[in-house]
């Protein structure tokens, strides 16, 4: 099977759960006392996709404001960006929209954008409606899932959706499926939070 390396970066406010999503995906573990990321951290995981192996090279950026200027180093050259917000904090959804604007202006033209509404285990204190976020994601042709790193909900599905948006190696260079180019409906059956 052909091995493809896919650079993926995670963006979003501090505390939304970016590192926790990566830990759940790579190590299948969750640490309620995880420390904030300093600068950025890097992990990899290889998964089969159709007749290929996708090796995700994952850059988890720090959400704290003092690290904000570092982000372009990580999203430049990325195949996909996962922008994470916390469903219990409306302001983190506003920050997400700013990241989308920045990616449009300065990111790679065909970058696959995925939006993850994390902490969906905290539905009782939700501030962002799932429909509002889904409609927004559809409007920019982004992948959308609500996730819980804590309860392992939709974490693998998030990466599967990204894999699906990557043109296969023999599909030709013109078949980009970036968020500016083409709509594609989601086929993964997601667990509901
Ligand atoms: N209830 C709940 N808590 C979560 C979830 N994911 C992360 N957390 C908690 O949220 C806090 C922040 O998680 P992090 O993964 O460090 O968040 P981050 O976005 O990487 O933060 P920075 O590194 O500062 O950018 C931690 O206390 C986590 O345990 C989740 O799905 N559900």
Q: DSSP states of the chain as a string?
A: -EEEEEEEEEE--TTSSHHHHHHHHHHS---TTPPPPSSEEEEEEEEEETTEEEEEEEEEE--SGGGGGGHHHHHTT-SEEEEEEETT-HHHHHHHHHHHHHHHHHS-TT-EEEEEEE-GGGGGG--S-HHHHHHHHHHTT-EEEE-BTTTTBSHHHHHHHHHHHSPPGGG-TT----TTT------SPPPP-
Range of the domain at 149: 2-165
CA dist., res. 115 & res. 94, Å (int): 12
Instruction: Classify residue 12 as exposed, middle or buried by CB count within 10 Å of its CB (0-12, 13-18, 19+).
Output: buried
- CA nearest ligand 1 atom 16, residue: 36
Ligand 1 atom with minimal separation from the 84 CA? 19
Query: For the chain, how many structural domains are there in total?
Result: 1
* Residue located via tokens 């989601």: 186
**Residue 162 main-chain phi, psi, to 5 deg:** -65, -45
Residue 39 falls within a domain, yes or no? yes
Q: Does the beta carbon of 95 lie inside 6 Å of ligand 1?
A: no
Ligand 1 atom with minimal separation from the 61 CA? 25
Residue 189 falls within a domain, yes or no? no
Mutation test residue for ligand 1: of 33, 34, 38, the one with most atoms within 8 Å of CB? 34
CA dist., res. 86 & res. 17, Å (int): 8
Residue 191 falls within a domain, yes or no? no
Predicted structure pTM score: 0.90
Residue 38 falls within a domain, yes or no? yes
- CA nearest ligand 1 atom 29, residue: 32
- CA nearest ligand 1 atom 13, residue: 17
Residue 30 falls within a domain, yes or no? yes
CATH number at residue 83: 3.40.50.300
Residue 178 falls within a domain, yes or no? no
Q: Does the beta carbon of 172 lie inside 6 Å of ligand 1?
A: no
Residue 18 falls within a domain, yes or no? yes
Residue 157 falls within a domain, yes or no? yes
Q: Tens of pLDDT along the chain (193 residues)?
A: 899 999 999 999 999 999 999 999 999 999 999 999 999 999 999 999 999 999 999 999 999 999 999 999 999 999 999 999 999 999 999 999 999 999 999 999 999 999 999 999 999 999 999 999 999 999 999 999 999 999 999 999 999 999 999 887 654 433 344 444 333 333 344 454 5
Mutation test residue for ligand 1: of 15, 86, 126, the one with most atoms within 8 Å of CB? 15
Q: Does the beta carbon of 119 lie inside 6 Å of ligand 1?
A: yes
């Amino acid at each position: 099977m052909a091995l493809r390396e896919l650079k993926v970066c995670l963006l979003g406010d501090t505390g939304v759960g970016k590192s926790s999503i990566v830990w759940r995906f790579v190590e299948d573990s969750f640490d309620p006392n995880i420390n904030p990321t300093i600068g950025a951290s890097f992990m990899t995981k290889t998964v089969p996709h159709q007749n290929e192996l996708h090796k995700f090279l994952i850059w988890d950026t720090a959400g704290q404001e003092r690290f904000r200027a570092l982000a372009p180093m990580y999203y430049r050259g990325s195949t996909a960006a996962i922008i994470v917000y916390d469903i219990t904090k409306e302001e983190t959804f506003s920050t997400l929209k700013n990241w989308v604007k920045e990616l449009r202006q300065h990111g790679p033209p065909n970058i696959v954008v995925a939006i993850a509404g994390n902490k969906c285990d905290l539905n009782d204190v939700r501030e962002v409606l799932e429909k509002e976020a889904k409609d927004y994601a559809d409007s920019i042709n982004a992948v959308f899932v609500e996730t819980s790193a804590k309860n392992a909900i939709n974490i693998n599905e998030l990466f599967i959706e990204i894999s699906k948006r990557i043109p296969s190696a023999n599909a030709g260079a013109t078949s980009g499926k970036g968020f500016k180019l083409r709509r594609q409906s989601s086929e993964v059956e997601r667990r509901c939070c």
